[in-house]
């Protein structure tokens, strides 16, 4: 948007980068004029769509419009509250919406916590309910659980309600959206961790250190499985009793009601149990 400032910032940075490209990698240097021309052309193209979005969003809220913020990543990847150092560099908890969008915390009136019917993770770090067996492989393959960017296979585990309780506390969930219920269909038994065992203690709260988490073993509640789910069912009563009990247990253990259940990949295969917006 500001050609003079862009040039001032680009030229010294490019000098350093070209030194690395040529000296360490034996590559041809990048041309400043080519970069400047390309980016200024892009700037002219998108200029009318660029604004200070903090004003845009706050004006929309003041005008009575419904504003939806969607987070990425997961609670345990939060820079401050996650399993450091196995985290991202941002705040994927609900409070991060205020930081990123430039709104005050009192502007948020509902927080929907999105969780899979099982647990998955990409990358290293402690994972108490991780499955290194046929069940984990079956869930991964059936759910196509591979990193969207890297293609790396995700680590798979049973649903961990200790983590969900922790996430619910940090983001103050008003309800839960449970996804991928169909992926667990056809399993004889499904397990849910509701606490951890560390040495001679039973823990219901998420541990306060990585070392403590590494020493934890999950305490499970076993549930009978369910047959294939009809993704077109329109009421909670239409779900198999074992599915309903699974969801009920999640609510009982977290204190957060379930408002949305995803039964398939398509938008229309989502069951809304209550109006959340």
Sequence spans of domains, the chain: 3-49, 110-272
Q: Indicate the class that CATH gives domain 110-272.
A: alpha beta
What is d(CA 249, CA 52) in angstroms, rounded to the nearest whole number?
A: 44
What is d(CA 247, CA 264) in angstroms, rounded to the nearest whole number?
A: 16
Which sign does the torsion angle of CA 146, 90, 132, 263 carry?
Answer: negative
Neighbours of 245 (CB within 10 A): 14
The terminus-to-terminus CA distance of the chain in angstroms comes to: 36
- The confidence score (pLDDT) of residue 275 equals 67
Confidence of residue 276 (pLDDT cuts 50, 70, 90): low
pTM of the shown model:
0.87
- Taking only the tens place, the pLDDT of each residue in 15-44 is 999 999 999 999 999 999 999 999 999 999
- Taking only the tens place, the pLDDT of each residue in 123-152 is 888 999 999 999 999 999 999 999 878 888
- Taking only the tens place, the pLDDT of each residue in 156-193 is 999 999 999 999 999 999 999 999 999 999 999 999 99
Beta strand 217-224 pairing with 258-262: unpaired
Beta strand 201-203 pairing with 189-198: antiparallel
What is d(CA 16, CA 12) in angstroms, rounded to the nearest whole number?
A: 7
- The confidence score (pLDDT) of residue 170 equals 97
What is d(CA 64, CA 66) in angstroms, rounded to the nearest whole number?
A: 7
- The confidence score (pLDDT) of residue 108 equals 94
């Amino acid at each position: 948007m500001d050609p003079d400032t862009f040039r001032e910032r680009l030229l010294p940075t490019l000098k350093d980068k070209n030194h690395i490209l040529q000296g360490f990698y034996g590559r041809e240097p990048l041309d400043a004029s080519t970069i400047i021309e390309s980016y200024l052309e892009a700037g002219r193209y998108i200029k009318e769509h660029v604004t200070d979005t903090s004003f845009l969003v706050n004006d929309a809220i003041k005008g009575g419009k419904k504003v939806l913020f969607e987070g990425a990543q997961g609670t345990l990847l939060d820079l401050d509250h996650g399993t450091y150092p196995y985290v991202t560099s941002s705040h994927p908890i609900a409070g991060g919406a205020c930081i990123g969008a430039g709104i005050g915390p009192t502007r948020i009136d509902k927080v929907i916590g999105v969780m899979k019917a099982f647990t998955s993770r990409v990358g290293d770090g402690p994972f108490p309910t991780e499955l290194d067996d046929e069940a984990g492989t079956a869930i991964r393959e059936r759910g196509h659980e591979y990193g969207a960017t890297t293609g790396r296979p995700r680590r798979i585990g049973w649903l961990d309600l200790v983590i969900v309780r922790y996430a619910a506390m940090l983001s103050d969930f008003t309800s839960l959206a449970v996804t991928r219920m169909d992926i667990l269909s056809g399993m004889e038994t499904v397990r849910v961790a509701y606490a951890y065992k560390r040495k001679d203690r039973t823990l219901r709260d998420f541990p306060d250190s990585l070392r403590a988490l590494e020493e934890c073993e999950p305490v499970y509640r076993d549930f009978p499985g369910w047959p294939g789910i009809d993704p077109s069912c329109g009421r909670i009563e239409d779900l198999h009793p074992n599915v309903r009990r699974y969801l009920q247990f999640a609510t009982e253990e977290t204190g957060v009601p379930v408002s949305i259940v995803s039964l398939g990949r398509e938008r229309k295969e989502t069951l809304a149990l209550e109006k959340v917006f």
